[in-house]
Chain A
Amino acid sequence: MSKSLVCTCEDVTASEVEHAISKGFCDIESVKRFTGFGTGICQGKQCLTAVARLLEQKSPTRPRPEQLAAFTPRPPLFPTEFSYWASASFDPAQAPSGGVPAALDFAEPALRPSAPIKAKAKVVIIGGGIMGLALAWNLAERGETDVVVLEKGYLCAGASGRNGGGIRAQWGTPTLITLARRSQELMKRFARDMGINVWFREGGYLFLAKSDEVVRRIEKSAALHNRHGVPTQIITPDAARDVVPQLTMKGVKAAAWNPKDAVIFPWPFLWGYAQQAQKRGVQVETFTNVQGFELSGGKVKKVITDRGDIACETVVLAAGAWSAEIARLAGVHLPNEPHRHEICSSEPLKPFLGPLVSVLDSGLYFSQSMRGEIVGGMGDPREPAGMNLSSTARFLTRYSQALTEQLPQAGEVKILRQWAGPYDVTPDNSPILGKTKGLENLLHMSGFVGHGFMMAPAVAERMAQWMTTGESDELFERFTLSRFAEGRLEREDMIIG
């Protein structure tokens, strides 16, 4: 067939880009994510200009030059083998800092819609990540459609668009196991409910343990999993190698294996929830910043945005790692701290890796995406708190050394791009949910420490139920903000990355 190609790496045609534009994706970052253009081997070198020209011509909003912002180039400039990055060294004693700036500002003022915002809504949700959008959809499903979702960037700009897509039930507390299992169920039928594919692939999670302490931890969790119907097994290093034959088992003492864990493609969840919520009357406002709150009588009366004020009855703060800075505008102190987590993606390879593999001792994790890329990261114990989405060579070195030690055949595989996302870290690694003491109608939905994506469908379902019926739910009583002042911590220790 005589197609006109825009992106030859990912086979994206001009018609496909025009379709995305017609669906309302009017900025380059969004068109990139929706069509996949610029995400292949050339990373946009051949196609970015062509897409910008199409947007210039075809977008109904007739973008002005300043609205055509190039997408953020991700290092490296050319695909570069893991073995090269592994050949550098880094100082483990030194805290990482600096880095290649992620986006100069993904809330480009030029992209802010000129139309005024709704002056009044029953519920205002701050944060258009998966938490906020899933909640909006769940509220709409329960008949509450007078809802506005405020997102400061494009959909997928925050951590929901930056994670590795892992979905697991292997948690350390019954609450998270229950939520994760429910989320998995909802994710499995997401395509049916929302009409968009999310590429849910049950490849399992394989946790490797290299120290006695970690072995004891996975044994304890596995017993808990089994009591809750999660079929986690503790297996020997040899059995783990049967799951992924390319792995070396150097230093591995045991592994935890749950074949029912999965990986998904994160972005369509956001589009699916947003589109279906919008169909039911919810307003999703992108490129809109919250600048403050009008408070009176122990309540939030108005949310002040850079597009006007919204009078409301309830405000939900679901801004992930940005939640604390927004809460501060209402005089509320959240203990959440953003922590950068870097991640990278390789060239696409034919399928060879079934599960997501993680070394609990080091925080290394990697899986193979549905497009064939090895996607993975490794948390840095020295990472300081603070919002920083920049990319470092140090990460490439740490990750490449750890990856090629576990998967030596990856040495000549090339890295295509790296980026970073913020973990929203709380003092006890558990979320903050429910009401605010002294500001009754400000509700929290944050603090998910890097696993919010996989919890969101279940948490949002229960939150919407709780909000619309008033039925009591222990989630919104146990995980309140006030627990920190009251000294009731809820520890979770199965955090990776």
Chain B
Amino acid sequence: MPRINPVESPVTIEFEGEQLQARAGEPIAAALIARGELLFSRSAKYHRPRGPFCMSGGCGQCLMRVDGIPNVATCREPVTAGMRIERQNAMPDAGIDLLRANDFVFRDWFNHHEFMAGVPIAEELLLKIARQLSGLGLLPERPAEAREPAVIEHHERVIVGAGAAGLAAARHLTQHDVTYTLFERELHVGGRLISAAEPDQPTPWNAPARLGAEVVGLFNDAGQPFLAVIERGRLHLVFFKKVLLALGGHAMLPTFPNNDLPGVMSGRAVASLIRRHGVLAGQRVACVGEVTEARALADLVKRAGGEPLAIGEEVVRAHGLRAVTAVTTTQSGKVSCDVVATCGALSPAFELARSGSAEVTWNPEQRCFVVQADAHGQTANPAVFVAGEMRGPMASAAAAQQGDAAAAAWVVSR
């Protein structure tokens, strides 16, 4: 089985009516993958099988109904004893979904703008069918319990993200006795330093941070910038004078046929499953894409007892009906595998910076959108700084340097 280490004192959860054992606190998705389950959901229109891709809440492929709440990102939701987990959006169930017929009828894509447009009767029928097929998940069964009133906080300096860049900034500020508040949505600091496959990573500095605190917005009501942060089931509105955004990036889906099959996962997701959760996503792991990361991932896979293949190769297509069974690459042709791990740069997470009026431009060399900032990471908005992968793909050492440079500017202007 793909657990690298046995689970001590497991808890029982219910998945599609079946009892299974999991480690309390691990993401639901990790528990299911450990059990060999890659098919999590069915897609919106074509009812194609889907499984976790990014393992970081940046895609919609692992959504399930959890304890009566629809569309829960199972890659982020921690396991608790007695939890009830169900697949959604399939008829009769996600294993054999008859609505997959859509996928075969509309071979390339479904032209929803023109299909049956203006055809009497057919048009009305289409409307009825489309409405019934729309949506993911059912309305929650129960009214929500009232939440504690939101907390208002005021801070001089805030850092968002305790990855390579955020930690370097925090360390620099600490060394110069400058106070700050660091928010990290995971329950550990480190970001990719503890989760990704990358050669020569330094050990992350264990900065004091507010863990499990997810920043969901940078607002500017009445011209007062503040962050909306969800922390332990409560909303915090965090007003700040200066913010350093170091959120990294989102896993990109490379374009090739069947790139959405369960088992096609981002390289970061496969690495983080091994390093953070002790789960090997499959035995035979094609580590495709960008070579440096692919090699580092292949090492990780090997050490976890798996079999890396097609290392750094270019994917032509993936094969499989319900999950990946093989991959074709330009170099090796068709080889059988359980997982296709796509290595390569992340798409910079520019959203919050843009909400804070930073400039976002297309970088024609890196072929992605990046946040514009000066040497200290200061953006068009003097209160908003950025560092690390938000400014473009870079190794963690370079990201740390940027975090350090931003903090140095804050020390000077203290």
Residues on A facing B (Cβ under 8 Å)? 1-6, 8-16, 19, 34, 40-42, 45-50, 52-54, 56, 65-66, 68-70, 72-73, 75-89, 94, 96-101, 104, 189, 191-197, 199-201, 246, 268, 271, 347-352, 370-373, 390-394, 404, 408-414
Interface presence of B399 (CB below 8 A): no
Output the nearest chain A residue to B257 by Cβ-Cβ distance: A2
**Could you tell me if B134 and A98 are in contact, using CB atoms closer than 8 angstroms?**
no
* A49 and B367 form a contact (CB under 8 A): yes
Q: Are the C-beta atoms of B150 and A40 separated by less than 8 Å? A: no
Q: Is the pair A88, B71 in contact by a Cβ cutoff of 8 Å?
A: no
How many Å lie between the Cα of A40 and that of B351 in the bound state?
A: 16
Supplied contacts A45-B59, A78-B214, A350-B137, 8 more A-B pairs, CB within 8 Å: A8-B61, A8-B260, A49-B252, A76-B228, A192-B118, A196-B114, A351-B134, A372-B136
Query: Interface segment, B141-149, B197-205, B292-300?
Result: B141-149
Residues of A within 8 Å of B109, CB to CB, are 3, 12-13, 15-16, 19
A-facing residues in B250-282 (Cβ within 8 Å): 250-260
- Give, as a whole number of angstroms, the nearest-CB distance from A264 to chain B: 11
Per-residue A-contact encoding for B101-132, CB less than 8 Å = 1, 0 else:
00110111111111111101001001100111
**Distance A77 CA – B150 CA, assembled complex (angstroms):** 18
Could you tell me the distance between the alpha carbons of A280 and B351 in the complex, rounded to whole angstroms? 41
Are A101 and B357 closer than 8 Å at their CB atoms? yes
Whether B103 and A1, one on each chain, are in contact in the complex, defined by CB atoms closer than 8 angstroms, is yes
B224 close to chain A: CB less than 8 A? yes
Partner of B250, one of A45, A196, A404, A411: A45
User: Top 5 nearest A-B pairs by Cβ distance?
Assistant: A411-B144, A372-B135, A41-B60, A408-B143, A192-B118
Q: List 8 A-B contacts (CB under 8 A).
A: A1-B107, A9-B60, A46-B251, A53-B367, A72-B354, A98-B222, A192-B120, A410-B139
CB-contact partner of A1 in B104, B118, B215, B219, under 8 A:
B104
Closest to B44 in A: A11
Which residues in B have their C-beta under 8 angstroms from that of A404? Answer: 143-144
User: What class of interface size applies to chain B in its complex with A?
Assistant: 35 or more
Contact A352 B71 (CB under 8 A): no
From A77, A370, A390, A394, contact of B216 by CB (8 A): A77
By beta carbon, the residue of chain B nearest A353 is B139
Q: Is B179 an interface residue (CB 8 A)?
A: no
Across the interface, which residues of B come within 8 angstroms of A49, CB to CB? 252, 347, 367-369
| A98 lies within 8 A of B258 (CB) | no
Q: Measured between alpha carbons, how far is A319 from B281 in the docked complex, in Å?
A: 55
B212 interface residue per 8 A CB criterion:
no
Given the known interface contacts A3-B258, A13-B108, A196-B117, the answer about A66 and B140 at a Cβ–Cβ threshold of 8 Å is no
Pair A370/B131 contact, Cβ less than 8 Å: yes
Among B70, B149, B362, residue most surrounded by chain A Cβ atoms (within 10 Å)? B362
Chain A residue with minimal CB distance to B219?
A393
Partner of A76, one of B132, B141, B216: B216
Contact B114 A11 (CB under 8 A): no
Q: How far is the CA of A77 from the CA of B229 in the complex (A)?
A: 11
Give A257 Cβ to nearest chain B Cβ, in Å: 20
Question: Is the beta-carbon distance between B235 and A87 smaller than 8 angstroms?
Answer: yes
Give the residue name and chain of the B residue nearest to A248 (CB): B143
Q: Beyond A49-B367, A73-B351, A371-B134, is A11–B216 a contact (Cβ under 8 Å)?
A: no
Alpha-carbon distance between A42 and B60 when the two chains are bound, in angstroms: 6
For window 354-407 of B, CB contacts with A under 8 Å fall at 354-355, 357, 359-364, 367-369
Q: For A80, what are the chain B residues with a Cβ–Cβ distance below 8 Å? A: 216-217, 228, 230
**Closest residue to B140 on the A side, CB-wise?**
A412
Which A residue sits closest to B347, measured CB to CB?
A49
The complex places the Cα of A53 from the Cα of B362 at a distance, in Å, of: 10
> Which of B110, B138, B217, B357 has a CB less than 8 Å from the CB of A352?
B138
Please give, as numbers and ranges, the residues of chain B lying within 8 Å of A53 by CB-CB distance.
367
For B108, the closest partner residue in chain A by CB is A15
Check A393 against B149 for contact (C-beta < 8 Å): no
Contacts of B130 in A (CB 8 A): 199, 370
Smallest beta-carbon distance B263→chain A, Å: 14
The answer, among B43, B114, B224, B360, for a CB contact under 8 Å with A8, is B43
* Chain A min CB distance to B124 (Å): 10
Which of A5, A15, A78, A347 is close to B136, meaning CB atoms less than 8 Å apart? A347
* Contact (A350, B144) CB under 8 Å given A96-B221, A192-B118, A197-B112: no
**In the complex with contacts A13-B108, A85-B235, A88-B150, A4-B135 CB distance below 8 A:** no
B351 CB contacts on chain A under 8 angstroms: 73, 77
Q: Are B117 and A77 in contact (CB under 8 A)?
A: no
Residues of B within 8 A of A8 (CB): 43, 50, 53, 59-61, 253, 260
A376 to B: closest C-beta gap in Å? 15
Residues of A within 8 A of B260 (CB): 3, 5, 8
- Which residues does chain A contribute within 8 Å of B359, judged by CB atoms? 104
Chain A contacts for B61, CB-based, 8 A:
8
The distance in angstroms between the C-alpha atoms of A404 and B144, with both chains bound, is 9
Q: Which of B177-226 contact A (CB under 8 A)?
A: 214-224, 226
Q: In the bound complex, what is the Cα–Cα distance between A351 and B148 (angstroms)?
A: 30
Contact B147 A350 (CB under 8 A): no
How many angstroms between the C-alpha atoms of A94 and B223 in the bound complex? 13
Is the C-beta of B411 less than 8 angstroms from some C-beta in chain A?
no
A4 touches B259 (CB 8 A): yes
A316–B126 Cα distance when bound, in Å, is 38
Given contacts A50-B253, A100-B218, A192-B118, contact A351 B135 (CB under 8 A): yes
